[in-house]
Amino acid sequence: MGLLWLGSAQADITVFAAASTKNALDQLAVEFEAQSETKIYRSYAGSAVLARQISLGAPADIFISANREWTDWLLSKTKGQQFNLVANRLVMIAPTDHLLAPFSNIELVASQLSAQRWATGMVDSVPAGMYAKAALQSLGQWETLKPNLVQTDNVRSSLALVARKEVAFGVVYQSDVVAEPAVQTIYQFAKDTHSPIIYPLVRLTDSAEVAAFVAFLQSGDARMVFAEHGFEPLP
């Protein structure tokens, strides 16, 4: 990747990031560390949990959320500079060895899976769950599928439940499917069924090291890494 770091002694950086960014961000952090004297510490969880921790004083230099609502909420509590980083898609998944062909419409999903337990993030706070509820409401299937919903504190927990076959299916991000070979996509939600899935980055401190890492994450090479992990370019 391009030379985006400073040559003098540098401070460490702490990044609080949505759980769905883990695989891509781990790779990018290692690549940045290899080119600099800066150590990138990462903390992954649900966007709501992280935003609340930062608002209570947790020492983060960068916050990456899976939706704008939590970055906007955090910026109402503290100072920072916001950038849009990448986009994602919402998908429905099942274990890989379940013989389910991709569904062509949501009505087939509801007719065949409505009695099965399924997982997504908490629908009132976790972005994946919020997107899932909005999409299913838009498609008229929320009331049918809601009774068997298992809500988790972040999207990777939902992914794990499906991968371990503890639930029959789940609603997660396209990037989660790339990260977990034990699941397959059985339905992809149209983008117009929910608000755009945009990952904003908030720079919370003003050091040169943080600015360099933010520039690194916005570089063309970093965008290629995000794409390899299932993310999409900004619309």
30-43 pLDDT, tens digit each: 999 999 989 999 99
pLDDT recorded at residue 6: 37
Q: What is the mean pLDDT of residues 7-18?
A: 78
pLDDT recorded at residue 165: 96
90 Cβ contact list (under 8 Å, min separation 6): 128, 131, 132, 135, 171, 172, 173, 174, 188, 189, 193, 194, 197
- Of 103 and 205, the structure prediction assigns the larger pLDDT to 205
Q: What is the mean pLDDT of residues 186-207?
A: 96
- The amino acid that residue 152 corresponds to is T
- The amino acid that residue 216 corresponds to is F
Q: What is the mean pLDDT of residues 169-195?
A: 97
Q: What is the mean pLDDT of residues 117-138?
A: 97
Two tokens, residue 139: 């498609």
pLDDT recorded at residue 8: 40
Domains of the chain, each with CATH number or no CATH: 13-87+198-228 (3.40.190.10), 90-193 (3.40.190.10)
Label residue 1 by pLDDT band (50, 70, 90): very low
pLDDT recorded at residue 10: 58
Among positive and negative, which fits the CA dihedral 26, 32, 35, 40? negative
Q: What is the DSSP string of the chain?
A: ----S-SS----EEEEEEGGGHHHHHHHHHHHHHHSS--EEEEEE-HHHHHHHHHTT---SEEE-SSHHHHHHHHTTS--EEEEEEE--EEEEEETTS--PPPSSHHHHHHHHTTS-EEEE-TTTSHHHHHHHHHHHHTT-HHHHGGGEEEESSHHHHHHHHHTTSSSEEEEEHHHHHH-TTEEEEEE--GGGSS--EEEEEE----HHHHHHHHHHTSHHHHHHHHHTT-B---
Residue 224: is its pLDDT beyond 70?
yes
**What is the rounded CA–CA span in Å between residue 133 and residue 38?**
40
pLDDT recorded at residue 9: 45
66-108 pLDDT per residue, tens: 999 999 999 999 999 999 999 999 999 999 988 777 888 899 8
Q: The pTM is what?
A: 0.91
> Percentage of the chain with pLDDT > 90?
86
